């Protein structure tokens, strides 16, 4: 499960969201980078007529158009792989949602890409919350996500993106949050 809930006492409830630092993201970053480097070195081997890869004979490939295409796709693949690796390194998407009954305040914290807005921190009072909204889409590409619906019609995501929880898990989380905040629970079926 991507979200883990900890209730420290009756007045404080914290929900953590995993970021991009996950095993499957590391796997894809390594695979895409190595594949891109393989294509890039094959393209360079065809240009210089020298074998830069030990497991294949790329100098027999004509540079125009095959070698040039390999070099292009290799460059793009390597850059995409490096981007994926940096996303994992920076742990983009990591954060928490803190519900504090004593302060009657909700704090949503997420990490983004480096820069001016690396850390996103939003704060809301309990009075601003209209309901907890559960969005469910079944089918080939299922989607199950929780949102905090505000009275000004904004919706703040509580669960992580790309997360597919079971129907029971998402319902239990939605009920816990709605009870804690003492607001309505609404469901949207897509």
Whole-structure pTM value: 0.82
According to the model, what pLDDT value does residue 190 have?
Answer: 82
According to the model, what pLDDT value does residue 3 have?
Answer: 55
Q: Which residue positions in the chain have pLDDT lower than 50?
A: 1-2
The CA distance from 181 to 179, in Å, is 5
The CA distance from 119 to 117, in Å, is 5
Residue environment code for 156-188, b if the CB has 16+ CB neighbours within 10 A, otherwise e: bbbbbeebebeeebbbebbebbbebbebebeee
Q: Where are the domains of the chain?
A: 3-19+92-189, 25-90
Q: Which two tokens stand for residue 26?
A: 């590391």
Tell me, which fold does domain 3-19+92-189 have in CATH? PH-domain like (2.30.29)
According to the model, what pLDDT value does residue 90 have?
Answer: 96
Q: Decide if 28 contacts 77 (C-beta within 8 A).
A: no
Q: Decide if 110 contacts 95 (C-beta within 8 A).
A: yes
The CA distance from 147 to 153, in Å, is 11
- Give the three-class secondary structure for 131: strand
According to the model, what pLDDT value does residue 1 have?
Answer: 42
């Amino acid at each position: 499960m991507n979200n883990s809930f900890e209730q420290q006492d009756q007045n404080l409830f914290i929900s953590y969201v995993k970021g991009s630092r996950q095993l499957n993201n590391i796997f894809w970053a390594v695979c895409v980078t190595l594949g891109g480097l393989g294509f890039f070195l094959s393209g360079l081997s065809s240009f210089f007529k020298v074998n830069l890869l030990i497991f294949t004979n790329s100098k027999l490939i004509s540079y125009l158009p095959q070698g040039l295409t390999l070099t292009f796709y290799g460059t793009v693949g390597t850059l995409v792989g490096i981007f994926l690796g940096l996303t994992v390194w920076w742990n983009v998407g990591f954060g928490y949602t803190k519900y504090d009954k004593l302060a009657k305040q909700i704090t949503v914290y997420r990490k983004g890409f480096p820069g001016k807005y690396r850390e996103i921190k939003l704060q809301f009072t309990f009075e601003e919350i209209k309901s907890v909204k559960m969005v469910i889409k079944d089918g080939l590409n299922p989607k199950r996500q929780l949102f905090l619906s505000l009275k000004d019609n904004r919706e703040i995501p509580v669960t992580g993106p790309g997360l597919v929880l079971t129907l029971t898990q998402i319902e239990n989380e939605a009920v816990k949050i709605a009870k804690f905040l003492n607001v309505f629970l609404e469901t949207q079926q897509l």
